[in-house]
Structure 1
Amino acid sequence: MLALLFAAQEPPRLERFWSTLTDGEESIPIRFFPTDRPKTGLNRVHLHLTSESEEHQRRTVARALELGGRHLDVGQKPEEGHIVLADPEGNEFCVIEAGNKYLAGTGFLGELACDGSRATGLFWSAALGWPLVWDQNEETAIQSPAGGPKIGFGGPPVAPRTDDERMLFEIDGNLDHLLTLGATLVDGEPADPDGIPFRIH
C-alpha cells in the first residue's frame, strides 16, 4: 500500500482543493499533514493529470483556477501541450494534453513525476512489487500490476535533499526488509537510495 503525504500550511484547504479537483478519485491516497513553513523552491514530486480531449483539459484547468489554483511558469515552451499550474499553496502540477501515449490508460491521476535516480526507481519497484514500465537513459517508471497512476523518476541530476521535503511516500512494510532492498537510514529515518525520507505505516 502506497500513500502520498503532503505538507500543507492549511491542510483542510488543500484537501478540499485536491479532492474536489479529482472528484475523490485518487487511486494513490493523498494525505495532508500540517507544517508552519511556507513553500520555497520546486517540489521533488509533482502530479500529472490526464485529459480525454482538449475540452476536458480546458475544463480541468478552469476548475483548478476556480478552486484557488493558478498558472505557473517553470520554463515550459508555448508549443508544449501540457499546462503547468500550482495549487493554493504553490505546489506544482501539470494537466497533460489529450492523446499522450505514455499516460494512456492510467486514469485521471496519471503520474507522480519524481526527481530521482534509476536506483531509486528500482528500489520502489522492489518495495511495492510494481514492475518497471519505462527504463531508458537513466529515467524509470513503475506502475501497479492492477494499473492506475505511474510513478516516474527523471534520472540525473538529482537535487540534493533539503530540510523541507513537502511530499513523502508512505508505505506498508518492514524496515529490515526495505534496507535489504536499498533503503538507507538518514538521521534515524528510512530513506530511499537518494537519501529522501519516507514513512513506514
Structure 2
Amino acid sequence: MTSRFTELVVDCRDPERLAAFWCAVLDFKVIDRSEGKVEIASWVPTADEVRARQMPPTLLFIQVPEGKTVKNRLHLDVSPIDASTEDEVTRLLGLGATTTDVGQGPDRSWVVMADPEGNEFDVMRTLAARRG
C-alpha cells in the first residue's frame, strides 16, 4: 500500500492574491475555489481525471488569520523554461516577489525569493536551451 502526493497546502492571509501570483509564475489555472480556499494546477482536469486521480499535484491556498512568522521548512524551486535566470527574477519581481536572504551566502547558482506573503522559494538555473 502506498500514498500519492496530491496537493501542497499553503496557509495564507489572501488566497485569491497568492493564487493569482503563483498562476502567473507557473502558468497554472484556478481549478477550484470556495470560501477561503483557492486551488490551482497545471491544467483544468476533467471530472473523470479527478475521480481517477490522474493529475499532477495541485497547490491549495487556504486562508488563515495569522501572517507568516518564521522561515519556511518547505519551499518550492522553480526553473525558468524560456528565459535566463536573471530575466525570470526580474519578471517575478514585477509580479510582486522580493529577493530575500535566508542565510544562503554569496556565490550561489540560485536566487532566493519570497512571494507576496513572504513564503520563500528558489529560482534555479534556466532550462532554456542556450543559443549560439
TM-score (ref. length: structure 1): 0.45
Structure 1 pair 28–56 and aligned structure 2 pair: CA distance change class (3 A): farther
Where does residue 62 of structure 1 map in the other structure? 90
Instruction: Give RMSD over aligned pairs.
Output: 1.8
Where does residue 26 of structure 2 map in the other structure? 22
Structure 1: state its 5+ residue gaps: 100-201
Are positions 1:34 and 2:57 aligned together? no
Q: 2-side partners of 1:86 and 1:32: how far apart?
A: 16
Matches for 1:87-98 after TM superposition, within 5 Å: 87-98=115-126
Structure 1 pair 21–52 and aligned structure 2 pair: CA distance change class (3 A): closer
Q: 2-side partners of 1:60 and 1:51: how far apart?
A: 6
Identity of aligned residues (%): 35
Greater RCO (Cα-Cα under 8 Å, separation 6 or more):
2
Deviations 1:136-162 (A, max 9, x none): xxxxxxxxxxxxxxxxxxxxxxxxxxx
Deviations 1:4-42 (A, max 9, x none): 111110110000000111011644210111011010111
Where does residue 115 of structure 1 map in the other structure? none
Are positions 1:44 and 2:73 aligned together? yes
Equivalent pairs, count: 98
Q: 1-side partners of 2:26 and 2:75: how far apart?
A: 15
Q: 2-side partners of 1:74 and 1:66: how far apart?
A: 21
Q: 1:13 aligns with which of 12, 17, 21?
A: 17
The aligned amino acid for 1:38 is: G
Structure 1 pair 23–52 and aligned structure 2 pair: CA distance change class (3 A): closer
Q: 2-side partners of 1:62 and 1:42: how far apart?
A: 23
Q: 1-side partners of 2:21 and 2:80: how far apart?
A: 18
